[in-house]
Structure 1
């Protein structure tokens, strides 16, 4: 049958009907709010390239966590900016490191709030790479190779220390080969077999990370991350990466970034049945904020459409800096 018997607009005729037949529904429980924690006292400092996102010292952190809990957002993703850095990122696996201290405080304040610990070394190394580096100088220019297997031990130590501090979920983002297997074995050996791994399985070497590198003070001091993060042109490679993580014991998979990679989200959703996370990253957030500040777009409409699109593509959970605003808009505020 066709027109005039079939009229598709009948199911769009009112808000009530549109709501009744809506296929994809965005819910506050779908969201994770990232937090940047830094050393010092009395700090609540807006990140210039990410309007509305702040660095918090431990003594100002509760205000942010209170707000997140009041909005019904179920989880936070912690990033830490340490006071000191070194070649192996030792602040990352320090029992009294910034992420570990923040985790303990949050779990003391709100035991039911899920703490997801980003497990990487780039915020903690003086060279800004996600693992141990072998460097050499040619004609005055520093070159370096990120050492895969040697980095796994440090990443595992970091994950175990985060779990000891009370992290509910370990989220390794380093893209070293074998990182899920190494971290799973380390967690199990330390008695944390109950702690799930949310793997950054499909993480591209993306230009959308620019504002984050300011926020986390994690820009590489030489070279780039293209030897371990994925080529943005590839999707079959994404399947191979995700499959490796599934076989190594990942509990959740992630695609990062999100907006330019909805096709990848859909492919991973169709290939694997683990929960799937999309990371709506800093550059995606900042573009929306910048356009909204110029009055060029309706920020509320754009953000809710964007997040709904990520769910429609196949994401079960979305990490986004828009989380707090999105929940308010979903409530009608």
Structure 2
């Protein structure tokens, strides 16, 4: 099916049970900290540690261009991809602000921008100068896909080896909601009209055109639903493939993945297609207002932490959600137990 081999171990359920028992003995009514308790247990299962640590987080933004923008599917021209990469490097974007807020390591990777990035600071791993227009030909070759996944894997491992304890992935690529919606249509089998939203802010008539472009591309390219590499090659994006590779690396290293919005969730679904256990290592930061995101979350089997009407991408929503993960770990580390505090437990039923 595909040439990607990755060894991802099952979650440590025994550690989860141990931490659940500990959480139940903290000085609070049973279950009263709600999803924070669930997150603490999940992080213990992911990391195999009874007191998991998620700081410092690492943020990687992958940038690439999409040939399908020739079809007029975006509110912005293709050159905005380069301009936004420079904005990231100058620390002027939303993800820069939120990465700084949470003390994250940060890098921008040129995986397929359709121009040279001359500024210092970018990580240069260009596979090709953007994808082809997938209405007219395959977006890229299988070899391109596997290279992009490998770059994502390598960059995530490098960040993990620097000491990052939680991975947040972002993307920049004008046209990438079109590619993501096309991938979701193939994975879900649902009508394109139920999946496609405004993306960068296109008007209603342009949404209909975008839906028609995606439907045409799927008919023309005929991606194989059972082969994630073929899906990427036919209708995918380089930055989406790179995020998929980064997620596989994090899961293989028992590092939690804090998933961002719509495009990042599509990468997460593709990681799950390549290795089913990868999704066990994912926590979804927020729900995007992109209509396809709810369907993608259902396929992934995840409930988002936040719902703030965000639709920016870049990893921004996940970075905003990160302090919630940190709260869950601090609850474990710093709260007293009933025994240590000398507090009486609640009665278990009537006498």
TM-score of the two chains, using structure 1 as the length reference? 0.36
Higher helix proportion (structure 1 or 2): 2
Greater share of strand: 1
Give the TM-score of the pair, scaled to structure 2.
0.35
